[in-house]
Amino acid sequence: MLAAALFLNRRGERFLGRHGGVKRVLRSAYHVVNRDPAAEVLQPSARDRLTTFYAPHNQGLAATLRSAGISGLPAWLSQSTA
């Protein structure tokens, strides 16, 4: 979406320069569509189910990374092997 907006902005600069109101409306619409999404909250029960489900996969991933000499694993991955 950003690439399309930049392309249209570059291509329409002369037109939009003469019609500032149109550019303001388009810019406002762009920001409405591309605003930051609201923060999502994960319920504790859902987090527990996901943690349980992914624990064996995370343990395997951590073991594979360590055997490849990779250290400094993120907390969510290193805690799954504790």
Q: Measure Cα distances from 40 to 4, 11, 48 in Å.
A: 28, 37, 16
Q: Is residue 69 part of a domain?
A: yes
Shared domain for 29 and 6, answered yes or no, is yes
Question: Which domain does 6 fall in, by range?
Answer: 2-33
Which residues of the chain register pLDDT less than 50? none
For the chain, give the percent of residues with pLDDT over 90. Answer: 35
Q: What is the pLDDT of residue 52?
A: 93
Q: Which residues, other chains included, contact 81 with Cβ-Cβ below 8 Å and sequence gap of 6+? A: 58, 59, 62, 63
Shared domain for 22 and 50, answered yes or no, is no
Q: Is residue 63 part of a domain?
A: yes
Q: What is the pLDDT of residue 1?
A: 66
Flag whether the pTM goes above 0.75.
no
Shared domain for 71 and 49, answered yes or no, is yes
Q: What is the pLDDT of residue 68?
A: 95
What is the C-alpha to C-alpha distance for residues 8 and 43, in angstroms, rounded to an integer? 41
Q: Measure Cα distances from 35 to 2, 9, 15, 21, 74 in Å.
A: 12, 18, 26, 21, 29
How many structural domains does the chain have? 2
